[in-house]
Amino acid sequence: MKATMHDANFPKDSSGAVYHIGVKPGEVANRIVTCGDPIRLRRFATFLDPSPKPFELVSSRGYTTITGCYKGVPISLIAIGMGVAMVDFLVREVRAVVSGDLAIVRFGSCGSLSPELPVGSIGVPRNAMTISTNYAHFHGDESLPPYVFSPPISSDPKLHQVLVSTLDSAVASSTCKICPTELHASADCFYSSQGRIDPQFKDDNADFVPQLLDAAPEVKSLEMETAHLFHLASVARHAKISAAACHMIFADRVGQEFIDPLVVAELEPKVGRACLDAIISFPLSDEALHPEEGSVWEI
Ligand code: R1P
Ligand code: URA
Protein backbone atom coordinates (compact mmCIF):
# COMPACT_ATOMS: atom_id res chain seq x y z
CA MET A 1 0.00 0.00 0.00
CA LYS A 2 1.55 3.30 -1.10
CA ALA A 3 -1.10 5.98 -0.61
CA THR A 4 -2.88 7.07 2.54
CA MET A 5 -6.45 5.79 2.59
CA HIS A 6 -9.38 7.88 3.75
CA ASP A 7 -12.58 6.41 5.22
CA ALA A 8 -12.21 3.09 7.01
CA ASN A 9 -15.67 2.03 5.87
CA PHE A 10 -14.88 2.24 2.13
CA PRO A 11 -11.19 3.09 1.78
CA LYS A 12 -10.10 5.38 -1.10
CA ASP A 13 -6.98 7.50 -1.55
CA SER A 14 -7.08 11.25 -2.20
CA SER A 15 -7.35 10.68 -5.99
CA GLY A 16 -10.47 8.55 -5.44
CA ALA A 17 -8.67 5.25 -6.16
CA VAL A 18 -10.16 2.22 -4.39
CA TYR A 19 -8.08 0.16 -1.96
CA HIS A 20 -7.68 -3.25 -3.65
CA ILE A 21 -8.22 -2.78 -7.39
CA GLY A 22 -6.47 0.59 -7.39
CA VAL A 23 -8.67 2.24 -10.05
CA LYS A 24 -10.32 5.65 -9.82
CA PRO A 25 -13.24 7.28 -11.66
CA GLY A 26 -12.60 7.42 -15.41
CA GLU A 27 -10.46 4.28 -15.46
CA VAL A 28 -13.21 1.62 -15.65
CA ALA A 29 -15.96 1.35 -18.26
CA ASN A 30 -19.60 0.39 -17.66
CA ARG A 31 -19.08 -2.81 -19.68
CA ILE A 32 -16.72 -5.30 -18.07
CA VAL A 33 -15.44 -8.73 -19.05
CA THR A 34 -13.80 -10.45 -16.10
CA CYS A 35 -11.84 -13.66 -15.67
CA GLY A 36 -9.52 -15.15 -13.06
CA ASP A 37 -6.29 -15.59 -14.94
CA PRO A 38 -4.36 -12.48 -16.13
CA ILE A 39 -2.73 -14.55 -18.91
CA ARG A 40 -6.22 -15.38 -20.22
CA LEU A 41 -7.10 -11.68 -20.01
CA ARG A 42 -4.08 -10.70 -22.10
CA ARG A 43 -5.02 -13.23 -24.78
CA PHE A 44 -8.17 -11.29 -25.54
CA ALA A 45 -6.96 -7.80 -24.59
CA THR A 46 -5.17 -7.86 -27.97
CA PHE A 47 -8.61 -7.41 -29.59
CA LEU A 48 -9.05 -3.91 -28.14
CA ASP A 49 -8.81 -0.97 -30.55
CA PRO A 50 -5.25 0.45 -30.68
CA SER A 51 -6.66 3.94 -30.20
CA PRO A 52 -7.32 5.39 -27.72
CA LYS A 53 -4.38 3.62 -26.15
CA PRO A 54 -5.72 1.23 -23.50
CA PHE A 55 -5.16 2.11 -19.85
CA GLU A 56 -3.60 -0.65 -17.79
CA LEU A 57 -3.14 -1.10 -14.05
CA VAL A 58 -1.88 -4.09 -12.06
CA SER A 59 -2.79 -3.58 -8.40
CA SER A 60 -0.73 -4.74 -5.46
CA ARG A 61 -3.59 -7.14 -4.60
CA GLY A 62 -3.35 -8.97 -7.91
CA TYR A 63 -6.05 -7.28 -10.01
CA THR A 64 -5.23 -6.48 -13.65
CA THR A 65 -7.45 -3.81 -15.21
CA ILE A 66 -7.25 -2.94 -18.92
CA THR A 67 -9.66 -0.27 -20.17
CA GLY A 68 -9.97 0.66 -23.82
CA CYS A 69 -12.42 0.50 -26.70
CA TYR A 70 -13.63 -2.54 -28.61
CA LYS A 71 -15.17 -1.65 -31.98
CA GLY A 72 -15.40 1.90 -30.63
CA VAL A 73 -17.25 0.98 -27.43
CA PRO A 74 -15.54 1.59 -24.04
CA ILE A 75 -14.91 -1.67 -22.21
CA SER A 76 -12.83 -2.86 -19.27
CA LEU A 77 -11.17 -6.25 -18.94
CA ILE A 78 -10.38 -7.20 -15.35
CA ALA A 79 -8.55 -10.30 -14.10
CA ILE A 80 -9.33 -10.95 -10.46
CA GLY A 81 -7.54 -14.12 -9.35
CA MET A 82 -9.77 -16.61 -7.56
CA GLY A 83 -12.56 -16.88 -5.05
CA VAL A 84 -15.57 -15.15 -3.57
CA ALA A 85 -13.54 -12.42 -1.85
CA MET A 86 -11.89 -11.39 -5.13
CA VAL A 87 -15.18 -11.12 -7.03
CA ASP A 88 -16.70 -9.23 -4.10
CA PHE A 89 -13.90 -6.61 -4.25
CA LEU A 90 -14.35 -6.44 -8.01
CA VAL A 91 -18.04 -5.66 -8.04
CA ARG A 92 -18.11 -3.35 -5.01
CA GLU A 93 -14.99 -1.34 -5.87
CA VAL A 94 -15.89 -1.01 -9.56
CA ARG A 95 -19.39 0.07 -8.51
CA ALA A 96 -17.79 2.76 -6.33
CA VAL A 97 -15.85 4.35 -9.23
CA VAL A 98 -18.27 3.97 -12.17
CA SER A 99 -21.54 5.85 -12.45
CA GLY A 100 -24.54 4.47 -14.33
CA ASP A 101 -25.55 0.90 -15.09
CA LEU A 102 -22.97 -1.87 -15.28
CA ALA A 103 -22.88 -5.00 -17.44
CA ILE A 104 -20.46 -7.71 -16.34
CA VAL A 105 -19.65 -10.94 -18.18
CA ARG A 106 -17.52 -13.50 -16.40
CA PHE A 107 -15.41 -15.79 -18.56
CA GLY A 108 -14.17 -18.61 -16.34
CA SER A 109 -13.29 -22.27 -16.21
CA CYS A 110 -15.17 -24.99 -14.35
CA GLY A 111 -15.59 -28.67 -13.65
CA SER A 112 -18.42 -30.70 -15.16
CA LEU A 113 -20.77 -33.10 -13.39
CA SER A 114 -22.59 -34.13 -16.55
CA PRO A 115 -21.84 -35.82 -19.89
CA GLU A 116 -23.85 -32.97 -21.45
CA LEU A 117 -20.84 -30.74 -20.69
CA PRO A 118 -17.75 -32.50 -22.04
CA VAL A 119 -14.22 -31.15 -21.50
CA GLY A 120 -13.54 -28.39 -24.05
CA SER A 121 -17.19 -27.30 -24.30
CA ILE A 122 -18.62 -24.05 -22.90
CA GLY A 123 -21.32 -23.94 -20.22
CA VAL A 124 -23.52 -20.85 -20.06
CA PRO A 125 -25.62 -21.03 -16.88
CA ARG A 126 -28.93 -19.23 -16.47
CA ASN A 127 -28.73 -19.56 -12.67
CA ALA A 128 -26.06 -20.29 -10.09
CA MET A 129 -26.17 -21.45 -6.46
CA THR A 130 -23.50 -21.13 -3.77
CA ILE A 131 -21.85 -23.95 -1.83
CA SER A 132 -20.40 -22.80 1.50
CA THR A 133 -18.33 -24.67 4.07
CA ASN A 134 -20.46 -24.99 7.19
CA TYR A 135 -17.92 -24.27 9.94
CA ALA A 136 -20.55 -25.12 12.57
CA HIS A 137 -20.34 -28.77 11.42
CA PHE A 138 -16.56 -28.94 11.83
CA HIS A 139 -16.23 -26.90 15.01
CA GLY A 140 -19.48 -27.41 16.88
CA ASP A 141 -22.13 -29.88 15.89
CA GLU A 142 -21.28 -32.75 13.54
CA SER A 143 -24.96 -33.49 13.07
CA LEU A 144 -25.20 -30.31 11.00
CA PRO A 145 -24.42 -30.70 7.27
CA PRO A 146 -20.76 -30.00 6.36
CA TYR A 147 -21.70 -27.91 3.30
CA VAL A 148 -24.59 -25.48 2.80
CA PHE A 149 -26.32 -25.15 -0.58
CA SER A 150 -28.10 -21.87 -1.41
CA PRO A 151 -31.17 -21.46 -3.58
CA PRO A 152 -30.45 -20.52 -7.22
CA ILE A 153 -29.62 -16.91 -8.13
CA SER A 154 -30.46 -15.72 -11.63
CA SER A 155 -28.17 -14.19 -14.27
CA ASP A 156 -29.52 -11.30 -16.32
CA PRO A 157 -31.77 -13.13 -18.80
CA LYS A 158 -31.07 -10.72 -21.70
CA LEU A 159 -27.30 -10.69 -21.19
CA HIS A 160 -27.36 -14.49 -20.87
CA GLN A 161 -29.25 -14.75 -24.16
CA VAL A 162 -26.88 -12.35 -25.97
CA LEU A 163 -23.92 -14.37 -24.67
CA VAL A 164 -25.41 -17.70 -25.79
CA SER A 165 -26.20 -16.47 -29.29
CA THR A 166 -22.78 -14.79 -29.73
CA LEU A 167 -20.97 -17.93 -28.57
CA ASP A 168 -23.20 -20.04 -30.81
CA SER A 169 -22.38 -18.06 -33.90
CA ALA A 170 -18.67 -17.39 -33.17
CA VAL A 171 -17.32 -20.36 -31.21
CA ALA A 172 -19.52 -23.46 -31.63
CA SER A 173 -17.81 -26.29 -33.55
CA SER A 174 -17.76 -30.07 -33.72
CA THR A 175 -15.27 -30.07 -30.80
CA CYS A 176 -16.71 -27.17 -28.81
CA LYS A 177 -20.39 -27.33 -27.88
CA ILE A 178 -22.09 -24.25 -26.45
CA CYS A 179 -24.31 -25.54 -23.65
CA PRO A 180 -26.83 -23.25 -21.97
CA THR A 181 -27.60 -24.84 -18.59
CA GLU A 182 -30.25 -24.23 -15.97
CA LEU A 183 -27.99 -24.39 -12.93
CA HIS A 184 -24.32 -23.99 -12.02
CA ALA A 185 -22.77 -24.03 -8.52
CA SER A 186 -19.99 -21.83 -7.13
CA ALA A 187 -18.12 -23.24 -4.15
CA ASP A 188 -16.01 -21.41 -1.58
CA CYS A 189 -13.09 -23.81 -2.21
CA PHE A 190 -11.67 -25.76 -5.12
CA TYR A 191 -11.06 -28.96 -3.15
CA SER A 192 -13.33 -29.79 -0.18
CA SER A 193 -16.50 -27.92 -1.18
CA GLN A 194 -16.31 -29.18 -4.76
CA GLY A 195 -16.15 -32.77 -3.49
CA ARG A 196 -12.46 -33.40 -4.24
CA ILE A 197 -10.97 -36.01 -1.92
CA ASP A 198 -7.86 -34.95 -0.03
CA PRO A 199 -6.74 -37.59 2.49
CA GLN A 200 -4.64 -34.95 4.34
CA PHE A 201 -7.80 -33.31 5.73
CA LYS A 202 -11.03 -34.35 7.41
CA ASP A 203 -13.35 -32.70 4.88
CA ASP A 204 -16.38 -34.97 5.42
CA ASN A 205 -17.10 -34.89 1.69
CA ALA A 206 -17.01 -38.56 0.62
CA ASP A 207 -20.64 -38.32 -0.55
CA PHE A 208 -20.50 -34.70 -1.62
CA VAL A 209 -21.45 -35.05 -5.31
CA PRO A 210 -24.46 -37.39 -4.72
CA GLN A 211 -25.63 -35.11 -1.89
CA LEU A 212 -25.32 -32.03 -4.11
CA LEU A 213 -27.19 -33.72 -6.97
CA ASP A 214 -29.84 -34.89 -4.54
CA ALA A 215 -30.35 -31.31 -3.27
CA ALA A 216 -30.04 -29.70 -6.72
CA PRO A 217 -30.54 -32.26 -9.52
CA GLU A 218 -30.17 -29.64 -12.26
CA VAL A 219 -26.66 -28.55 -11.31
CA LYS A 220 -24.22 -29.34 -14.12
CA SER A 221 -20.97 -27.53 -13.28
CA LEU A 222 -18.79 -26.20 -10.45
CA GLU A 223 -16.44 -23.24 -10.06
CA MET A 224 -15.82 -20.51 -7.52
CA GLU A 225 -17.07 -16.99 -8.41
CA THR A 226 -20.12 -16.85 -10.68
CA ALA A 227 -22.86 -17.23 -8.06
CA HIS A 228 -21.45 -14.38 -5.96
CA LEU A 229 -21.35 -12.19 -9.05
CA PHE A 230 -25.02 -12.99 -9.73
CA HIS A 231 -25.79 -12.41 -6.04
CA LEU A 232 -24.22 -8.94 -5.97
CA ALA A 233 -25.98 -8.00 -9.22
CA SER A 234 -29.27 -9.09 -7.68
CA VAL A 235 -28.81 -7.02 -4.49
CA ALA A 236 -27.44 -3.89 -6.22
CA ARG A 237 -29.17 -0.66 -5.25
CA HIS A 238 -29.66 2.55 -7.26
CA ALA A 239 -28.06 1.68 -10.65
CA LYS A 240 -28.56 -1.69 -12.32
CA ILE A 241 -25.91 -4.39 -12.59
CA SER A 242 -26.52 -6.99 -15.30
CA ALA A 243 -24.39 -10.13 -15.00
CA ALA A 244 -23.90 -13.30 -17.02
CA ALA A 245 -21.19 -15.95 -17.25
CA CYS A 246 -19.71 -18.61 -19.46
CA HIS A 247 -17.27 -21.29 -18.36
CA MET A 248 -14.86 -23.46 -20.33
CA ILE A 249 -15.12 -27.04 -19.09
CA PHE A 250 -11.64 -27.83 -17.78
CA ALA A 251 -12.36 -30.89 -15.61
CA ASP A 252 -14.65 -33.89 -16.01
CA ARG A 253 -15.48 -34.60 -12.37
CA VAL A 254 -17.03 -37.95 -13.22
CA GLY A 255 -14.51 -39.39 -15.72
CA GLN A 256 -11.48 -37.45 -14.26
CA GLU A 257 -10.26 -36.03 -17.63
CA PHE A 258 -8.54 -32.59 -17.46
CA ILE A 259 -8.29 -30.24 -20.44
CA ASP A 260 -5.20 -30.15 -22.70
CA PRO A 261 -3.40 -26.74 -22.49
CA LEU A 262 -3.33 -26.60 -26.32
CA VAL A 263 -7.14 -26.70 -26.36
CA VAL A 264 -7.21 -23.87 -23.78
CA ALA A 265 -4.83 -21.76 -25.87
CA GLU A 266 -7.09 -22.24 -28.90
CA LEU A 267 -10.37 -21.65 -27.04
CA GLU A 268 -9.49 -18.61 -24.93
CA PRO A 269 -9.14 -16.02 -27.69
CA LYS A 270 -12.30 -17.24 -29.45
CA VAL A 271 -14.44 -17.25 -26.32
CA GLY A 272 -12.89 -13.99 -25.14
CA ARG A 273 -13.73 -12.26 -28.42
CA ALA A 274 -17.30 -13.59 -28.24
CA CYS A 275 -17.60 -12.16 -24.69
CA LEU A 276 -16.43 -8.78 -26.01
CA ASP A 277 -18.92 -8.93 -28.90
CA ALA A 278 -21.70 -9.91 -26.53
CA ILE A 279 -21.06 -7.17 -24.01
CA ILE A 280 -20.83 -4.35 -26.56
CA SER A 281 -24.13 -5.40 -28.14
CA PHE A 282 -25.96 -5.38 -24.79
CA PRO A 283 -28.10 -2.23 -24.41
CA LEU A 284 -27.03 -0.14 -21.41
CA SER A 285 -29.17 2.85 -20.54
CA ASP A 286 -26.57 5.00 -18.84
CA GLU A 287 -22.85 4.95 -19.61
CA ALA A 288 -20.22 7.20 -18.06
CA LEU A 289 -17.20 6.87 -20.40
CA HIS A 290 -17.52 8.20 -23.93
CA PRO A 291 -14.53 7.66 -26.24
CA GLU A 292 -15.26 10.81 -28.25
CA GLU A 293 -14.68 12.89 -25.13
CA GLY A 294 -11.01 12.05 -25.45
CA SER A 295 -9.32 9.14 -23.85
CA VAL A 296 -10.16 9.70 -20.22
CA TRP A 297 -8.02 6.68 -19.42
CA GLU A 298 -5.03 7.47 -21.63
CA ILE A 299 -1.78 7.74 -19.63
C1 R1P B 1 -9.79 -22.66 -9.94
O2 R1P B 1 -8.88 -23.36 -10.71
C3 R1P B 1 -10.21 -21.34 -10.57
O4 R1P B 1 -10.70 -21.59 -11.90
C5 R1P B 1 -12.04 -21.12 -12.03
C6 R1P B 1 -12.54 -21.15 -10.60
O7 R1P B 1 -13.70 -20.42 -10.44
C8 R1P B 1 -11.34 -20.69 -9.81
O9 R1P B 1 -11.18 -19.30 -9.82
O10 R1P B 1 -12.22 -19.88 -12.63
P11 R1P B 1 -11.16 -19.03 -13.49
O12 R1P B 1 -10.72 -19.94 -14.60
O13 R1P B 1 -11.84 -17.83 -14.01
O14 R1P B 1 -10.06 -18.64 -12.56
N1 URA C 1 -12.38 -24.50 -11.70
C2 URA C 1 -13.02 -24.99 -10.61
O3 URA C 1 -13.34 -24.23 -9.68
N4 URA C 1 -13.29 -26.30 -10.56
C5 URA C 1 -12.92 -27.15 -11.53
O6 URA C 1 -13.16 -28.36 -11.40
C7 URA C 1 -12.24 -26.63 -12.66
C8 URA C 1 -11.99 -25.29 -12.72
**Could you report the per-residue pLDDT of 88-142, keeping only the tens digit for each?**
999 999 999 999 999 999 999 999 999 999 999 999 999 999 999 999 999 999 9
User: Residue 118 contacts by C-beta under 8 Å, 6 or more apart in sequence?
Assistant: 112, 177, 249, 252
What CATH class has 31-289?
A: alpha beta
Distance from the alpha carbon of residue 29 to the mean position of ligand 1, in angstroms: 23
Of 225, 264, 268, best ligand 1 pocket probe by most atoms within 8 Å of the beta carbon: 225
**CA-wise closest residue to 259 among 268, 250, 267:** 250
| Stretch (H or E) spanning 139 | helix 135-139
Give per-residue pLDDT as tens, 269-288. Answer: 999 999 999 999 999 987 77
Please answer whether residues 227 and 264 qualify as being in contact, where contact means their C-beta atoms are separated by less than 8 angstroms.
no
Whole-angstrom Cα Rg for the chain: 19
Distance from the alpha carbon of residue 94 to the mean position of ligand 2, in angstroms: 25
Question: How high is the pLDDT of residue 286?
Answer: 73
**Banded model confidence at residue 291, pLDDT cuts 50, 70, 90:** low
Q: Is the CB of 223 under 6 A from ligand 2?
A: yes
Give helix 226-234 / helix 84-97 axis angle, nearest 10°. 40
Average pLDDT rounded to a whole number, residues 210-228: 98
**Banded model confidence at residue 299, pLDDT cuts 50, 70, 90:** very low
0.85 cut: is pTM over it?
yes
* Residue 110 Cα: closest atom of ligand 1: 5
**CA atoms of 280 and 297, how far apart (whole Å):** 18
Give per-residue pLDDT as tens, 75-88. Answer: 999 999 999 999 99
